[in-house]
Amino acid sequence: MNIIVCIKQVPAKDAPLSIAGNWIRESDIGFEMNEPDSYALEEALRLKEKHGGEVIALSMGPERVKQTIKEALAKGADRGIHIADDNFAQLDPLGSAKSIAAAIKQQKHDLVLTGLQSDDKGFGQTGVLLASVLDVPHATIIMAIEVDGQKMRLKRELEAGWFQHIECPLPAVLSIQSGINKVRYATLKGIMAAKKKEITTIARESLGVSAELTQKVEKIYVPTKTKKTEFLTGTPKEVASKLVEKLKFEARVI
Amino acid sequence: MKILVIAEQRQGKWNNTSFETLAAAQQIAKDTSSAVSALVIGKGVVGLADELAAKNVAEVLLVQHDLLEAYTPDGYCMALSQVIASAKPELVLFPHTYQVRDFAPKLAAMLGKGMIGDCVGYRNEGGKLVFVRQMFQGKTAADVTFQGAAPWFASFQAGAFRSDLVAAHPSGKAPVNLVTVDLKPEQIRTKPLDLFKEAKSAVDLTQAPLIVAIGRGIKAPENIPQAEALAKALGGEIAASRPICDEGWLPMERQIGSSGQTVAPKLYLALGISGAIQHVVGMKGARTIVAINKDQNAPIFEIADYGVVGDIFEIMPALTEALEKAK
C-alpha cells in the first residue's frame, strides 16, 4: 500500500508573529511540522507497518520545508517530495490543492492522507480539494482506518460526540483527525537512516498548474478586542486573593 | 444579489448553526439590498422546508432524493451543483459544521470557485464584501475577498451570528419550491454506515456551573493534579482543550470545543489555554471567563473578563489556597 502524506510546515507554536501585509515576517521565527499533519504521518506509518508499501512525505513551500520532510523521513517515511515555491504563502486553498494534486499524480499511490487543518491559515480544505481535483472519493475527520482489500472501513467523527462508520473505496484521500493515534518520536537510528533517504524537489511552476486566485487574503491584523478584560497583577499570592475577591463580590459566581 | 443559505439537518433534526447563518444572510441582504433564499436537502424533509418558509426568505428550495437520505459528500455535491446551476445565486452561505467542511470546498471546486471557510464576520466596503476569518489559531484576523465571478461560497463559524435574530416572514410564509436533481447510485462512492455515540460520558459538563479547564500550558500529565486540586477547592469540574485529550491526559469526555462539549457555566477558568477558535466556540457563552496564560498576546484574553499574565504553576497553588481560605 503506497501512501502519500501531505505535510505542511508552519510557524512554531510559540513564535512571536510579526505581521507583514497579508502574511508574516518569516525571517524572524522558527518553523515546525504542522501538528495535525503529524497525526496523518503517524497513521500512514502504522498502515505501512500493517500492510507494507511505502510512505511518501510531501510538502510544499520554500527551501525551509525540507527540514520538515527530513523529520518525517526520520520518523519512518521512505522518501520525500518537495514542491518548491518561495511564494506559496500567497496561494489560495484551491491553487495549493491543484499544485499538490499535480505532483501526486506523478506517483503511484493508493491513499493520500492529510491533517485536519493547518495551524497557520487553518482553511482545512486541502484534503477535500485534493480529492476533488484527483477525482477520487474522500472522507474527513477520520478517527480509525481499517483496510480490507480495495476498500476501507472508516470511523468519522461528527459533532457533539457522534461518530459514523463509512465504507470508502481505494484510491482515496482522507483527512485525519488529531488525536487518532499517539505520535512517535524520531529515534537516533531513524535520524541517521533519514540522511540516506531521497527528497525529490519539483519546482511548482514546472507542474503547469494555473493557480489563479479564487479568494485573496487582503491583510492580516491583530483582532480587535470585543470584551474589556481586567488584568490582575502582583505576586501569585496577591493575584490569587484579588481574583477570589472579584469572583466573589464583583462577578458573584462563587 | 441573490444569497442562498444551505441549511443543515441530520435525521430530520436541524443543526442549529444553520439559523445563525440564516441570520448572517439576512443581515448581509439588508446591507446590500439582496434577497435570501434557503435550501434544505435530504429525504422526507418537507416539514423542515416549511419551518424555513416561516422565516423572512424569498423562497425555500426543497431538494429531495432517495439517494440523499443519508449524507454523502458525492451525493450532496452532485445535487447542490445542479441546484446552484439552475438557481444561480451569487453568494452561497453555509454554517461551518463538520459536514460542511466535508463537502462544501469540493462543491465550490466543482464549479471552479473557492470557498472562504470559517468566517466570523463580514464588512460591506462600498458594495464589495470582505469576509473576516481567523488565522494562526486566532492570533490574527484576516480580511479575505473573493476573486473572479460569482457564485461565491463562504461559511460562518458557530456563534458568529445569533440565531434568535432570524427575522420571521412578514406575511406568513415563503413559497417552498421543489427542485428535482438527477443522481445515480454509482455516482456515490462512499457508503455511510451506522451512526453511533461512544460510551455515554459519565460527566455532563454542560450542567457544571463552575469549570476549570486546562490547555497545553499544563505541559505534562503529572501537573494535572494541581489543576484538579484547584477545581476541587472551587467545587467545579475539570475540563480541557483538545490537545490534552488527544494526548490521553484527560478522557475525551472532558473536552471542551467544537469536537467536544459546548458549555456555558457561570465561571470558566482557563489555565494555559491559548484560545484557538476550536476551543473558544465551546466556551465563549460562559458568564464569567478568567484566563491565566504566560503569553499576554494569547487570543483567550480577547474574551476573558479577568486576565492574569503569568505562570500557571505559581498561580494554581496560590489560587487553591485562597479559595480554601475563602470558604
Could you give the CA distance from residue A89 to residue B147 in angstroms, rounded to a whole number? 17
Confidence check: pLDDT of A206 > 70: yes
Q: Are residues A142 and A231 in the same domain?
A: no
- Cβ-Cβ contacts under 8 Å for B97 (sequence gap 6 or more): A159, B8, B15, B17, B158
Hey, which residues 51-110 in chain B have their CB within 8 Å of chain A? 73-74, 97-99, 101-103, 105-106, 108-110
Å between B53 CA and nearest CA of chain A: 26
Tell me the pTM. 0.89
Cβ of residue A239 closer than 8 Å to a chain B Cβ:
yes
> Do A139 and A113 share a domain, yes or no?
yes
Q: Do A114 and A175 touch, CB atoms closer than 8 A?
A: yes
Report the relative pairing of strands A138-148 and B140-146 from DSSP bridges: unpaired
Q: Quick one: A155 and A30 in the same domain?
A: yes
Write the single-letter amino acid at B16: N
* pLDDT-based confidence at residue B202 (cuts at 50, 70, 90): low
> Are B106 and A128 within 8 A, CB to CB?
yes
User: Binning pLDDT at 50, 70 and 90, where does residue A225 land?
Assistant: confident
Residues A202 and A252 in one domain: no
Task: Quote the ipTM score.
Answer: 0.91
Q: In this complex, do A162 and B197 lie within 8 Å of one another by their Cβ atoms?
A: yes
A28 pLDDT band (50/70/90 cuts)?
A: confident
Question: Is there a single domain that holds both residue A161 and residue A249?
Answer: no
Q: Give the three-state DSSP class for A44.
A: helix
Residue A123 to residue B118, Cβ atoms within 8 A: yes
Is residue A246 domain-shared with residue A187, that is, in the same domain? no
Question: What residues of B are in contact with residue A226 (Cβ under 8 Å)?
Answer: 302-303
Residue of B nearest to A17 (CA): B139
B residues 291..310 contacting A (CB < 8 A): 291, 295, 297, 299, 301-310
Given a contact cutoff of 8 angstroms between Cβ atoms, the answer to whether B93 and B154 are in contact is yes
Query: Tell me, what's the pLDDT at B6?
Result: 98
Q: For the segment B171-188, what is each residue's pLDDT rounded down to a tens digit? A: 999 999 999 999 999 999
Same domain, A196 and A228: no
Domain boundaries, position A125: 3-207
Total count of domains within chain A = 2
> What b/e readout covers B62-100, taking b as 16+ CB neighbours within 10 angstroms?
bbbbebbebbbbbbbbbbbebbbeebebbbbbbbbbbbb
Write down the domain spans for chain B.
2-187, 205-326
Residues of B in contact with A124 (CB under 8 A): 101, 117-118
CA-atom Rg of chain B in angstroms: 22
A179 and A71 in one domain? yes
Give the helix/strand (H/E) hosting B211: strand B210-214
Which residues in chain A are closer than 8 Å to B103, comparing Cβ atoms? 128
Determine which of A132, A154, A162, A174 to mutate to test the interface with B (most B C-beta atoms within 10 Å). Answer: A132
Q: What DSSP designation does B256 have?
A: B
* pLDDT value at residue B200: 60
Binned at pLDDT 50, 70 and 90, residue B199 comes out as low
A133: domain CATH number is 3.40.50.620
A106: distance to nearest CA of chain B, Å? 21
Contact B267 A243 (CB under 8 A): no
Taking only the tens place, the pLDDT of each residue in B126-154 is 889 999 999 998 889 999 999 999 999 99
Chain A closest CA to B116's CA: distance in Å?
7
What CATH class has B205-326?
A: alpha beta
Q: Are residues A60 and A85 in the same domain?
A: yes
Average pLDDT rounded to a whole number, residues A85-113: 97
| pLDDT tens, position by position, B258-304 | 878 888 899 999 999 999 988 998 998 899 999 999 999 899 999 99
Q: Does A130 touch chain B (CB under 8 A)?
A: no
Let me know whether A159 and A237 are in one domain. Answer: no
Same domain, A253 and A137: no
Fold adopted by B2-187: Rossmann fold (3.40.50)
Residue B222 in this model has a pLDDT that exceeds 70: yes
Chain A CB contacts of B108 under 8 Å are 94, 214
Residue A129 included in any domain? yes
| CA distance to partner chain A, nearest, from residue B63 (Å) | 22
Question: pLDDT tens, B47-62?
Answer: 999 999 999 999 999 9
CB contact under 8 A, A214 and B267: no
Contact assignment for B98 to A139 by CB distance below 8 Å: no
A82, A202: one domain: yes
Question: Chains A, B: CB contacts under 8 A, how many?
Answer: 260
What the block records as the C-alpha cell of B24 is 448572517
